[in-house]
Amino acid sequence: MISGSDRSPRLGDFVNAAWDRITDIGKIRAGSRRASRFGRFGPDSAICFPVAALFGERYIHIGAGSVIGPYSSLSAGVGPGDVPPRDPAVVIGSHTVIGKGSDIVGQMSVEIGDDVWTGPYVYITDANHGYEDVKVPPGKQFAPRRRVRIEDGAWLGTGVVVLPGATIGRHAVIGARAVVTGEIPAYSVAVGNPARVVRQYIEGEWRSLD
The CATH number of whichever domain residue 175 belongs to comes to 2.160.10.10
- pLDDT for the residue 141: 85
For residue 114, give every residue at least 6 positions away whose Cβ sits within 8 Å of its Cβ, in sequence order, or none: 63, 93, 94, 95, 96, 152, 153
What digits encode the pLDDT tens for the residues 121-150? 999 999 988 888 899 999 888 888 899 999
- pLDDT for the residue 1: 43
Average pLDDT score over residue span 21-29:
91
pLDDT band at 97 (very low <50, low <70, confident <90, very high): very high
Q: Please determine, for residue 159, whether its predicted confidence score (pLDDT) is greater than 60.
A: yes
Q: Please determine, for residue 3, whether its predicted confidence score (pLDDT) is greater than 80.
A: no
The count of structural domains within the chain is 1
Residue 95 annotated as catalytic: no
Give the integer Cα–Cα distance in Å for 180 and 157.
12
Q: Domain range holding 168?
A: 4-208
pLDDT band at 77 (very low <50, low <70, confident <90, very high): confident
Give the integer Cα–Cα distance in Å for 38 and 56.
8
